């Protein structure tokens, strides 16, 4: 078998059905379901042979067509002889097709409007901007998107710091108290000089703050901007003892 | 402030603005004539542009007024700005837009029910292009996101308002009337010129 096919690209199963209706010059309200089903399935077979990905939606309509076809083949129920009561099994599909076709018409109108509008130039021409690159006013959703992107970048680093964090405030409080037993007064800057990295400085600083809060130590400064000394709060100590 | 001056001020404003100016905006700047008179002057001005066979036109777009170039000049301007007006919306994009324009506020499942295909990708593109926006959520089960068209949509298609689109009821496919939209017909003709399917040809003698 040789195939000489000009394959149309269809947006979806309804699009394909409309094409078949047009091709066969049939009335959309009186679709010869057997013929159309046959052609529809032929087309799907063609798509499969050409290794085109057949979307599930095409199969859903195929099933619908076959279902309608089988319904029309069955003899009508003898009880229902009133023609009004007898529902056309095609009705639902036709209704969908007609509605879809209306929007396809509108899409065509929009396309005409688009090409007309593109002929009218205004001041907001995106100068030297690549196609598709258009600027818009940022909406709330843009901001949220931007925000989540920023957040995505940040946690990585913060997370690393937490992993690396070998210095805890608790430990530093302990260390400081021990040091103060040996040397009742020491320079804050000297204390920080011994620190290996930023996290340790932070831990130390927090430890100092904590000890101040607990009234274990007092910090004194001789003059503005001079070194700060940490002194054990003897009074407090005495009170406890 | 005489009429000639008012006209000049309006013209200058339209000339400078990079987006359509609303009647209210123009009126507020003028601080004199009322809405009716302002509108009158704009119409007069638009008429003059038309009469003088100027390169420019005053067009009502997205509920406002904007100076645009005469469409007949498009070929030259396209040469000047090589990229301008080059990219067009795809068929699926136009169909989806059409549905949203008429059915808004609408949800994704509603659009998909009409088109018969998934619209995730198309919807994303349209939102990126700012032709469609999320209006919020519907207060029903599942609180689905509802979509609608933007001001940008009107501007993009040169529409003044959504009312300018034809009524859906006007599309009545009476028996045998199975005309397909323009772009589809063109494809068909192109196919025939290539010597494609001959049985597609419609005979005019029946």
- End-to-end C-alpha distance for chain A, whole angstroms: 105
A236: helix, strand or coil: helix
In Å, how far is A1's CA from the nearest CA of chain B?
18
Furthest-apart CA atoms within chain A: distance in Å: 110
Residue B50 CA: distances (Å) to CA of B14, B26, B38, B43, B69: 16, 21, 19, 11, 11
For residue B90, the 8-state DSSP code is -
- Tell me if chain A has a CB within 8 Å of the CB of B114: yes
Q: Which residue of A has its CA nearest to B68?
A: A122
A169 and A203 in contact (C-beta within 8 Å)? yes
Question: Which residue's structure tokens are 């010129």?
Answer: B193
* pLDDT for the residue A20: 87
**pLDDT tens column, A70-107:** 888 877 665 555 555 556 778 888 889 999 999 999 99
* pLDDT for the residue B90: 86
The answer to pTM > 0.80 is no
Distance CA(B182)–CA(A27), nearest Å, equals 19
Closest CA to A16 of A34, A42, A32, A40: A40
B132 and B149 in contact (C-beta within 8 Å)? yes
> Are the Cβ atoms of B83 and A25 closer than 8 angstroms?
no
B34: helix, strand or coil: coil
Size of interface A-B (CB pairs under 8 A): 167
In Å, how far is A132's CA from the nearest CA of chain B?
7
CA dihedral A203, A208, A214, A217 (to 10 degrees): 150
**pLDDT tens column, B129-157:** 899 999 999 888 888 999 999 999 998 99
- Six-digit token string for A147: 């925000």
- Tell me if chain A has a CB within 8 Å of the CB of B189: no
Q: Given pLDDT bands bounded at 50, 70 and 90, which one contains residue B85?
A: low
H helices, E strands: number in chain B: 9, 5
Is pLDDT of B84 > 70? no
Which of B97, B117, B182 comes nearest A112 by C-beta?
A: B182
Q: Given pLDDT bands bounded at 50, 70 and 90, which one contains residue B96?
A: very high
Q: Between B173 and B67, name the one with better pLDDT.
A: B67
Taking phi first (over 0 means left), then psi (-120 to 50 degrees means alpha), and beta for anything else, what does residue A92 get? Answer: alpha
Distance CA(A69)–CA(A89), nearest Å, equals 8
Which of B68, B165, B173 comes nearest A98 by C-beta?
A: B173
* pLDDT for the residue A125: 52
A69: helix, strand or coil: helix
- Tell me if chain A has a CB within 8 Å of the CB of B32: no
Optimal mutation site among A103, A112, A141, interface B, most CBs of chain B within 10 A: A103
- Tell me if chain A has a CB within 8 Å of the CB of B3: no
Is pLDDT of A147 > 60? no
Q: What is the ipTM of this complex?
A: 0.72
* pLDDT for the residue B41: 93
Residues of A in contact with B136 (CB under 8 A): none
Is pLDDT of B1 > 50? yes
A138 and B93 in contact (C-beta within 8 Å)? no
> Are the Cβ atoms of A108 and B86 closer than 8 angstroms?
no
> Are the Cβ atoms of A132 and B87 closer than 8 angstroms?
yes
Mean pLDDT over A197-219 rounds to 79
Residues of A in contact with B152 (CB under 8 A): 136
Q: Which of residues 134-173 of B touch A (CB under 8 A)?
A: 134, 152, 156-159, 165-166, 168, 171, 173
> Are the Cβ atoms of B69 and A121 closer than 8 angstroms?
yes
For residue A193, the 8-state DSSP code is H
Q: Between A32 and B177, name the one with better pLDDT.
A: A32
How high is the mean pLDDT of chain B?
81
- Residues whose CB falls within 8 Å of the CB of residue A162, separated by 6 or more in sequence, listed in order: none
B58: helix, strand or coil: strand
How high is the mean pLDDT of chain A?
74
- Six-digit token string for A220: 């004194």
Furthest-apart CA atoms within chain B: distance in Å: 70
- Residues whose CB falls within 8 Å of the CB of residue A231, separated by 6 or more in sequence, listed in order: A184, A185, A217, A218, A219, A220
Residue B69 CA: distances (Å) to CA of A59, A154, B30, B203: 49, 48, 25, 42
Distance CA(B97)–CA(B88), nearest Å, equals 13
* Helix residue spans in chain A (DSSP H): 13-23, 33-49, 56-73, 91-117, 140-164, 169-182, 188-193, 198-213, 234-240
Q: Given pLDDT bands bounded at 50, 70 and 90, which one contains residue A180?
A: confident
Q: Which of A53-62, A224-233, B63-72 has the lowest mean pLDDT?
A: A224-233
> Are the Cβ atoms of A122 and B194 closer than 8 angstroms?
no
Which of B66, B87, B97 comes nearest A122 by C-beta?
A: B66
Which of A99, A101, A141 comes nearest B134 by C-beta?
A: A141
Q: Which residue of B has its CA nearest to A6?
A: B196
* pLDDT for the residue A134: 43
Burial class from Cβ neighbours inside 10 Å (0-12, 13-18, 19+) for residue A100 reads buried
Distance CA(A41)–CA(A59), nearest Å, equals 9
A16 and A100 in contact (C-beta within 8 Å)? no
In chain A, the percentage of residues whose pLDDT exceeds 90 is 6
Residues of B in contact with A98 (CB under 8 A): 173
- Tell me if chain A has a CB within 8 Å of the CB of B67: yes
Strands (DSSP E) contained in B81-175 are 106-107, 132-137, 145-149
In chain B, the percentage of residues whose pLDDT exceeds 90 is 43
């Amino acid at each position: 078998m040789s195939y000489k096919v000009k394959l149309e690209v269809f947006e979806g199963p309804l699009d394909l059905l409309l094409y078949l209706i047009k091709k066969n010059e049939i009335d959309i309200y009186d679709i010869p379901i057997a013929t159309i089903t046959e052609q529809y399935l032929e087309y799907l077979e063609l798509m499969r042979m050409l290794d085109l990905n057949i979307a599930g939606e095409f199969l859903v309509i195929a099933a619908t067509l076959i279902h309608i076809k089988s319904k029309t083949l069955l003899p009508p129920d003898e009880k229902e002889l009133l023609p009004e009561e007898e529902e056309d099994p095609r009705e639902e599909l036709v209704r969908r097709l007609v509605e879809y076709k209306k929007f396809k018409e509108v899409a065509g109108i929009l396309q005409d409007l688009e090409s007309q509008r593109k002929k009218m130039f205004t001041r907001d021409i995106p100068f030297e901007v690549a196609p598709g690159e258009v600027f818009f006013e940022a909406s709330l959703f843009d901001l949220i998107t931007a925000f989540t992107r920023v957040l995505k970048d940040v946690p990585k680093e913060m997370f690393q710091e937490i992993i690396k964090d070998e210095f805890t405030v608790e430990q530093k409080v302990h260390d400081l108290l021990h040091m103060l037993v040996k040397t009742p007064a020491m320079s804050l800057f000297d204390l920080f000089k011994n620190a290996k990295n930023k996290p340790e400085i932070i831990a130390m600083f927090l430890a100092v703050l904590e000890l101040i809060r607990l009234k274990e130590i007092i910090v004194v400064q001789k003059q503005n901007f001079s070194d700060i000394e940490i002194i054990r709060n003897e009074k407090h100590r005495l009170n406890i003892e | 402030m005489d009429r000639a001056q008012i006209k000049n001020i309006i013209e200058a404003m339209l000339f400078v603005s990079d987006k359509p100016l609303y009647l209210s905006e123009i009126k507020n700047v003028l601080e004199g004539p009322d809405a009716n008179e302002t509108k009158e002057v704009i119409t007069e001005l638009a008429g003059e542009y038309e009469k003088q066979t100027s390169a420019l036109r005053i067009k009502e777009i997205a509920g406002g007024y904007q100076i645009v170039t005469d469409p007949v000049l498009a070929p030259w301007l396209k040469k000047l700005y090589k990229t301008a007006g080059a990219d067009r919306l795809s068929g699926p994009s136009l169909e989806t837009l059409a549905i949203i324009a008429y059915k808004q506020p609408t949800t994704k499942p509603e659009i998909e029910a009409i088109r018969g295909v998934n619209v995730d990708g198309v919807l994303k593109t349209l939102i990126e292009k700012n032709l469609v926006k999320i209006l919020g959520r519907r207060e029903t089960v599942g609180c689905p996101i509802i979509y609608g068209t933007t001001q940008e949509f009107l501007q993009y298609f040169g529409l003044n308002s959504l009312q300018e689109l034809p009524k859906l009821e006007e599309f009545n496919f009476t028996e045998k009337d199975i005309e397909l939209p323009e772009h589809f017909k063109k494809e068909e003709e192109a196919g025939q010129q290539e010597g494609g399917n001959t049985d597609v040809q419609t005979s005019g003698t029946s």
